[in-house]
A and B are shown apart, each in its own frame.
Chain A
């Protein structure tokens, strides 16, 4: 694999040349500081910009064009990493070597760039027909979150952190949706195209040619040298224990823990090991204690929210088992702190992480994701990370176990029935 950077005045193009794939993956990534009021607006904007443009007046026309371009796919993703919000426009397309048409590469590369620079705007407002379609869709998506027990519980638990970016949702609320107008989206568009932009592309193509094509079609005037702080600190103000009723059958338990003073290596490597041994794998402490030894639940997982400095443990179970589960979770945390895990378990975790990283190299999305965070957060590239993983010691994991503080515990009680379903 060959990594290369092309520097242009207003954006950089980062390329990965690899001959392992029949597809090519391209991402145009905008980033800005996270702002609670803007989250849903950005999601709306990105959906609308990938549904239509001045040239393609609705989603149907866009999809027909993508089909003509040998089933290319084009979509937008809004995301949040700590203090930074990102809007990505993603294009996947067939490697031009499989196509006879000489203009194919130029046509496919220019599609997303033209759509970004020429959205369907008239008189400083987005087209109302497409606006309403996306609005209706987002309305149902926001409502749809309430149909998923785990999403409801996690959202409620995170909202108890207070006014921190970690509690902001990408989808927002119905009230926020009602506030968005075609004019407001136009203003949001102006803000988007004035934010920092980078382009990433991976595949088996002539990257010099691709860079020239991008420069030809993407006359992006903004020069931003803005640097971003990604990591949000969520110190414990007061430990909260919350119990609420829900409409679901199962009960959901969510525990949030704050992570204090993790250093760079803790964030890149050590805490991932801690999380894996605690609740990441099928032999993890939580899985073994709650599911295998006590049959309390179908699944339990712990999640490391790196950019929020948080650890989340989540499971769904019977109402009557919550206290027992909580005790077992505390036992697992104690065992991690006391180093009650073997060198063999650490070695198995090493194998598992090396496997995951090698696997990422077999997938263009994985390669790209790693490269994006190498640029955004100075995350070491995969081969370097494998070396770091090999060097980890048991003490490194025990050390991060001391940096965990309970913050929020939420129980969402279900309406379980004993009757047959």
Chain B
């Protein structure tokens, strides 16, 4: 067992690897009554093409999410709920582009909960009947997604940004995709990706790190774990341009909305992802959040009612994404684009934003669920815990900000509007 000290935050994360190769991260908090477990499988909705020993496989879109649903079946007439209900714990799961997470939230019998989590996730129980039954439920979820205007706007935006990246596709898949999911490809996914070496476990709360390690090792020791096939996931090569400069969705929306997106090759920033992410957040907040001159002006002119900026740092590209709601959507878009062409950061704003972000780092460690999510985010986005994040914040100077600002441009930009259907 190793300890990772989070510098300047007075926090420690325990780290170990289980017998069968599963990384385990533990944050102890003796002051709380609860614990939060997340068993994370590095298999998400974009991982639909892969190679095993030079043999290529392609599976339907939506299969990672479908697997998440049917994983709740443990054996005939027994579901995960039957394991956790007597323990008084809550369970849930979610699928993202990059991974699938199985969650348990409880306050007692940590060992039983952990065993139950490992027993239901690492358990190849699939039948044609289960798959058939789940298709109706997921079809309803797909329709709910279509009814969700923000969901539609988000995926249209991704389609305009990317030519080939699978972020274009719905995480749930479409109703047609569901038709192509069968027992054969479900078993293929399980046997390829649901291996301890392709998972990581995060435990946070009132727990003992050494006890957690023992329970995991004892549990996995009783299972027949086959050797890891070490799949090579194939990701498409994405070109520099946006796929579409403009798109208009006509919908029965009540409040018109838009997304403006920039696509910038990551390599131009020449900076490690963690630092780049922090600097981009600071720049975008200073220029677009409640404290910005732009937002104040647009609100006072009645040009917007909502404005938000975010960023995604991918393997090849940085995507900057501004979302707004407005009655005068074209004028609001124009002013946001003007600002994107003239981003600025003043010294006093930089200092204030960095200080307040450091305060946030401290308060993040107040809630077992938040800490668990934080560790998951580190591992998914940076493939490791970042022990010196406070130091990184403290090291940021105006020159770093200017280096990033100089590389943000609107050359590759898309605008997606969601307007009222006539």
Contact = CB atoms under 8 A, between A and B. Distances in A.
Contacts of B108: 355, 358
Contact of B107 (A21, A60, A63, A354): A354
A172 interface: no
Contacts of A316: 140, 144
Interface string A336-360: 0000000010011011101100110
A162 interface: no
B105 interface: yes
A354 B85 CA distance: 12
Interface string B174-202: 11100000000000000000000000000
Interface stretch (A37-45, A133-141, A258-266): A133-141
B302 A132 contact: yes
Contact of A355 (B81, B106, B306): B106
B352 A362 contact: no
Contact of A249 (B147, B149, B296, B325): B147
B176 A420 contact: yes
The residue in B176, B359, B365 that gathers the most chain A C-beta atoms within 10 A of its C-beta is B359
A228 interface: no
B356 A421 contact: no
Nearest to B365: A22
Given A60-B292, A63-B289, A136-B305, A250 B143 contact: yes
Interface stretch (B13-21, B231-239, B251-259, B397-405): B251-259
A19 B31 contact: yes
Contacts of B254: 140, 143-144, 146-147
B367 interface: yes
Interface string B52-89: 00000000000000000000000000010110011111
B342 interface: no
B94 interface: no
A298 B137 CA distance: 5
A297 B137 contact: yes
Given A282-B91, A298-B141, A316-B140, A98 B362 contact: yes
A64 interface: yes
Contacts of A297: 137, 140
A247 interface: yes
A283 interface: yes
Contacts of B87: 351
B278 interface: no
Contacts, number: 165
Contacts of A318: 140
A65 to B, nearest CB: 10
Contacts of B352: 64, 67-68
B113 to A, nearest CB: 11
Interface residues of A, number: 61
B255 A144 contact: yes
A23 B85 contact: no
B344 interface: no
Contacts of B81: 281-283
Given A248-B147, A355-B88, A70 B356 contact: yes
Interface string B350-387: 00110111011011011110000000000000000000
Interface in B88-141: 88-91, 105-108, 133-138, 140-141
19 contacts: A22-B362, A60-B290, A63-B289, A63-B290, A71-B359, A71-B363, A98-B359, A132-B302, A248-B147, A250-B144, A281-B81, A282-B79, A282-B85, A283-B81, A295-B134, A351-B87, A352-B85, A420-B176, A421-B146
Interface of A: 19-23, 58-60, 63-64, 67-68, 70-71, 94, 98, 129, 132-133, 136-137, 139-140, 143-144, 146-147, 149, 247-250, 281-283, 291-292, 295-298, 316-318, 344, 347-348, 350-352, 354-355, 358-359, 361-363, 414, 416, 420-421
Given A139-B305, A140-B254, 17 more contacts: A20-B31, A67-B291, A67-B352, A129-B300, A140-B325, A249-B146, A281-B85, A291-B137, A292-B79, A297-B140, A316-B144, A317-B140, A348-B88, A352-B88, A355-B90, A355-B105, A359-B34
